[in-house]
Amino acid sequence: MKIRQFIATAIIAISSISMFGANAVEVWDLNPIEKLSISSKLYEGTIDFSGTLPPNYAKNTDKRYVVLFDFHTRAQPMLTGMHDWMSHNGEWPWLETIVVTPATYSKLLGPVYEDGAQLLDFFEHDLLKALDKNYRTNGFRIYSGFTGNGSAGLYTLLNRPSLFNAYIIASPVLADDHRGLMSSAEQKLKKLTDKPRYLFMSNGTSRYEQPHQDSFTELKKILQTTAPKQLTWQTKAFEGTTYMSQPVLAVVHAIEAIFSDIHNTLAADSVISRQGAQAILKHYRYLSEQKFGFEVSAEDALTALGKSLMKDNPKKALTVFKISVDTYPESAWAIHALADAYAQLKQFDKALDYQKQAREKANSMGGWHQNKHQQFLEEYQAALKG
């Protein structure tokens, strides 16, 4: 009995440490909220929106951020809680994002919301401009919407697609040609060829969604036959799940897909990597300049390619590592990859020279990185001495 009591006490203690930590941080400090009052020619007065900022927004003053917008006021705690959980491990799988929602329901917004043209004008000329003016945005915008708000997102994609880069649409209202979506989808989808975009659309099997099932299936077929290559799209049926779970499930699946090119390094045996270092750089320039609008590093893909070549073609591997260092001269890990390649070739003098540079670059990084680079440096020094 004493052993069981001891184990139970230990579990409670460990759980407490896990929950609260040695230096507990208030949840609201993790998600600071700012009020943004937005005026418009479309209504008199102002409408308040909540801008929930990443926890390090005030600290990292040189950083710019993704924006996610949702029309539902109650989406704020849901999305920001999910964002905090899915981004606190080094922005994986969710890049740090500014989450924007209406602060409260406003009657002023009702007529604008119902009128499609006014809604798009409000997005373009009022909301998005205000966000760019007041926050450090990086140009990549995500629209998130559930049921009627999801339909508003689809309407935006079809009629003014440049407003957002990615659309997360959960259980959209589609029956009876709502907002003219079904009747215009085929014609307007064909025109989405100017830049890369992403669409995630899902539904469930609840009684609330059943009236829209046929239209959802039809819209999926239209996407299959009509969507241009510039539109990456996915549909998902969350069968056997409850109605109110739909936006949660949709956001999780969509966020992982939206940022997959950032978090999933090109494999060395991928079609692109097999074409060489320049093809990798070209691919990541496409991601940076066209798909995301902010820099996406090719370093890991170059390193993976270089390592794969070391056994059979070390000369080519060294060329790849040197291209990586030339491209990312401030990266301690890019320099270390070159140093390690020379170490594998028993050229410890060159390995040591490059690792000294890597160790110096690591001074701006965290303690773990500094310790690892110091460890590599000492290993190469010992190897050189024989």
Instruction: Give the residue extent of every domain in the chain.
Output: 25-263, 273-385
At residue 12, the pLDDT reads 40
Identify the CATH number of the domain defined by range 25-263: 3.40.50.1820
At residue 386, the pLDDT reads 82
65-70/97-102 β-pairing: parallel
pLDDT digits 0-9 by tens, 176-215: 999 999 999 999 999 999 999 999 999 999 999 999 999 9
At residue 6, the pLDDT reads 37
Give CA torsion, residues 145, 149, 153, 159, to 10 deg. 180
pLDDT digits 0-9 by tens, 116-141: 999 999 999 999 999 999 999 999 99
Tally of CB atoms within 10 A around 171: 27
Distance CA 184, CA 128 (A): 25
Ranges of residues in the chain with a pLDDT under 70 are 1-30
At residue 381, the pLDDT reads 96
Distance CA 243, CA 94 (A): 24
Task: Say yes or no: domain 273-385 is CATH 1.25.40.10.
Answer: yes
At residue 21, the pLDDT reads 41
Distance CA 154, CA 161 (A): 9
At residue 23, the pLDDT reads 45
Beta partners for 197? 231
10 Å CB burial of residue 371 (0-12, 13-18, 19+) is exposed
